[in-house]
Structure 1
Amino acid sequence: MSSTQKDQHGARSQRFQEADKPHRRKREKTYSCDECGKDFTLAQSLKRHQLIHSGVKPYSCNECGKGFTRTGSLKTHQLIHSGVKPYSCDECGKGFTWTGSLKTHQLIHSGVKPYSCELCGKSFTQAENLKTHQLIHSGVKPYSCELCGKSFTQAGSLKAHQLIHSGVKPYSCDLCGKSFNRAGNLKTHQLIHSGVKPYSCELCGATMNSSAIGAVATIVFRSTPRCLKAADMVPPLLNSLKILLYWVTTCLGFWTAIERT
């Protein structure tokens, strides 16, 4: 075969290959899902996909019994029980089971909050946190307590609430041993030992270790700054005897002294 014939043969072969490509592309997505219309190149991929619509989860975790539609998802889940966290943050060293969780965490260090609420403008690092926040505006509280019927926007808030009924107080003070059902309450309590009083009354200037006391004092004296009758000044917010006692002895004492001068 001459060089000219070889060139002609090569050109024809290339044309056939180019002409065949679109046919292969059209034949690639042969299998489509009747439920959602998604296309697949392999019948096996379609079958695996259809498990999502059927609700069948043939692969279950031996530790907790949670089911999955794919073996890969099961293996990823099992890392939770193993305690293995192969992905760690370069900034703080915190470990994660999934790369996605690490990337989301790294937004905290960068300060980037790409998800913002259209109603109030508050921003979040995760789309899921934004969705949870939006429940506040909608008034929807999908999680309710079976014992008292109180409803919450977040599952975590419900779990924290249920500790009240159970009597379990998992957070204890290292200095005095006092226990609490919420980590936030423990942190507030620890301010007593530290002597730090970050909250202050806007009107009398008295410093406090509880924001609740400061809020009550401000509300009271904004509404009735000159009334010295305690019975007239106690608002519904004063539902704590400790707050009431602090208010009477500190803020009310301040205004009594002012009135006498």
Structure 2
Amino acid sequence: MEDHMTGHKEKRYECDVCGKAWQHPYQLETHRRVHTGERPFDCSECGKSFKTAQVLKIHRRVHTGECPFDCSDCGKSFKTSQVLKIHQRVHTGEKPYGCSTCGKSYAGWAGLQQHRRVHSSERPFTCSDCGKGFKSSPDLLMHRRLHTGERPYTCSDCGKGFTRSKILMEHQRTHTDERPYTCALCGKGYTRSTYLLSHQRMHTGDRSFHRPFGCSDCSKDFKRAGELKIHRRLHTGEMPYGCSVCSKSFKTTYELKSHQRVHSSERPFACSDCGKGFKSSSELNVHGRVHTGERPYSCIDCGKGFKSSTDLKVHWRLHTGERPFTCSDCGKGFKSSTHLKVHWRLHTGERPFTCSDCGKGFKSSTHLKTHMRLHTGERPFTCSDCGKDFTQSGSLQVHQRIHTGERPFTCNQCGKGFTRSTYLLSHQRVHSGDRPIPNLVCGERFAMASHALCHQRVHTSGQPYDCPYCSEAFDSSWGLQQHWRIHGGEQLLPLQQAFQESTGTAGGPADTHQGEILCVR
């Protein structure tokens, strides 16, 4: 016993580089390799080198698959006794390594060491390609695969590759339908423990628990720390994932991967119903609901259903009045970033979507798609009451209010109802006296764009409404109507018929309402 205790005290072999002492000369020899970088033990399978024969022996188990240390609680196997010891703390709940800064505890010393870097912001492992720093070497190794494209873990069922063995294991459950994580309250099963944790939060009404990760900048809450981390990039402006083709940057690898398909025109996710291709599985999933009619996201205020949570989120802003996306040029607010992007083209004059038949440009692909129906004659939206066809679902919806008498947009000043929000907006200017639309020639201002357009013809001598009975022409349909009384007394031609005769077109204005001056655009 005395000799044994003496062994603890006597450390006669000192390193001449750092001064650290050891009890045995072989320990000093092994330690010196830290300074020299010497790794004399090579793996015959992969060529990787190690400082000691023991570490090489453990590494060899990666190739052989040998895991000789079994957990008596769950049967899981491990390559080393040390890793098994750390794992067993999952069952015992033991976390002997505590952080002195925040008190958080860990089962292993390595976990604590990595955690401490959260407080120090230390990122000692740096990517040689992009310079990004990481808290641990495994994190750097995973990141490097973004640059190399390496996916060493392959699914034996479908051949799909993965960067991590854990992700492969979770993926394989899609083939076996294994759901090992079960909710104790409702019995629902999940393939990942994180999915179960998120689900369990649905059983509680406590928002702080339901979304425990709060943003310190905008107070928005998230269910997962990873979601908060990505969200924080909205505030910091960080875009760590850059496209090698156009240098555009993105907040997540998923966004980058989807974007890169713009350059390759790759659409790997095809709809089994109509054959349409999509850049991501999530886009295909949402599109599939067009065929099934599924609307899993419902508004708690009006009951309207939506194909995606994003659509519901944008719709909800109709009720709250929230318009978080503001134009830096004119200050106008929008419910979604897409609406703002389309609006911005009013200022830039950009028309990136061009009609192949007539060459006309449009601000959005939706506008182009609607325009194309003028050439094809397609009117896919039919009124079930009168059989009238429309080029847009929105036009049909507004038209149906003629049959139902519904006027959902009400003036809070006089109580008058309107079938469209734009009609309400124009009406409210009667009360406010607001005339936001100026004429660039004379400076006169108007409450409605159609009025401004008609007035503009005073300066340009534009008179597109020709009388079918004489040579007179007018700048508005209302002026033409007044003139007709000379020819036919008080009996007027229907507006639609007169428009067709005066303009020589087969179809009239797609959408008019009583009292509005109609102008050809």
Query: 1:8-59: per-residue Cα shift (whole Å, max 9, x none)?
Result: xxxxxxxx94599986523488889999x89999839976678939979796
Task: Flag the 1:184–1:91 CA change in 2: closer, same or farther, 3 A.
Answer: closer
**Per-residue CA distance 1:171-221 (angstroms, 9 max, x = gap):** 33333333333444445544554567899xxxxxx999895xx98xx8xxx
| Letter of the 1:25 counterpart | H
Aligned counterparts of 1:251 and 1:28: Cα–Cα separation in 2: 90
Contact 1:79 1:97 in 2 (8 A): yes
Q: Which has the larger radius of gyration?
A: 2
How many residues are matched?
A: 216
Correspondence for 2:476 among 245, 251, 260: 245
Q: 1:111 aligns with which of 285, 293, 297?
A: 293
1:170 and 2:347 correspond: no
- The question of 1:61 aligning with 2:295 is answered no
Change (3 A) 1:24 1:177: closer
TM-score (norm 1): 0.56
Match of 1:86 in 2: 268
SS across alignment from 2:323: coil
Give the Å deviation of 1:145.
1.1
The SS at the match of 2:294 is coil
Quickly say closer, same or farther: Cα 1:117–1:146, change in 2 above 3 A: same
Say whether residues 1:137 and 2:368 are aligned partners: no
Q: CA deviation at 1:131?
A: 0.8
The reply on whether 1:52 has 2:118 as its aligned counterpart is: no
Instruction: Give 1:139 shift.
Output: 0.7
Look up the match of 1:228.
none
Are the aligned partners of 1:79 and 1:85 in contact in 2 as well (CA < 8 Å)? no
Partner of 2:491: 257
With structure 2 as the length reference, what TM-score do the two structures score? 0.32
- For the residues of structure 2 that align with 1:208 and 1:87, how far apart are their CA atoms? 31
Residues 30, 105 of structure 1: CA spacing in aligned structure 2 closer, same or farther, 3 A cutoff?
farther
Instruction: Give the share of equivalent positions with the same residue, in percent.
Output: 27
Match of residue 158 from structure 1: 340
Secondary structure of the corresponding residue to residue 257 of structure 1: coil
**What's the offset of the Cα at 1:249?**
4.6
**CA separation in 1, counterparts of 2:304 and 2:360?**
35
Deviation of the 1:161 alpha carbon: 0.8
Give unmatched runs, 5+ long, in structure 2.
1-70, 75-84, 116-134, 140-224, 382-387, 403-416, 418-446, 455-463, 466-474, 494-521
- In the TM superposition, residue 154 of structure 1 has moved relative to its aligned partner by 0.9
164-173 or 144-153, larger mean C-alpha shift: 164-173
Instruction: Give the Cα separation in 1 of the matches to 2:340 and 2:347.
Output: 11
Bigger RCO of structures 1 and 2 (CA < 8 A, at least 6 apart): 1
Which of 3, 21, 26 does residue 92 from structure 2 map onto? 26
Q: How far off its partner does 1:94 sit? A: 2.9
TM-fit CA distance, 1:163: 0.9
Offset at 1:136?
A: 1.5
Give the conservation status (yes or no) of the 8 Å contact 2:250–2:256.
no
**How far apart in 2 are the matches of 1:191 and 1:117?**
32
Structure 1 match to 2:146? none
Quick one: structure 1 residues 45 and 138, their matched pair in 2 at CA, closer, same or farther if it must change by over 3 Å? farther
Query: Closer, same or farther in 2 for the Cα pair 1:141/1:122, shift >3 Å?
Result: same
Which deviations, in whole Å up to 9, do the C-alpha atoms of 1:121-157 show, x marking residues without a partner? 2111111211111112111111111111111111111
CA distances 1:78-107 after superposition (whole Å, capped 9, x unpaired): 353154443322122233444333333322
In structure 2, C-alpha distance between the alignment counterparts of 1:237 and 1:188, rounded to whole Å: 21
RMSD: 5.4
Relative to structure 1, is the Cα distance of residues 77 and 181 closer, same or farther in structure 2, using a 3 angstrom cutoff? closer
Checking the alignment, whether the CA contact within 8 Å between 2:249 and 2:256 is kept in structure 1 is no
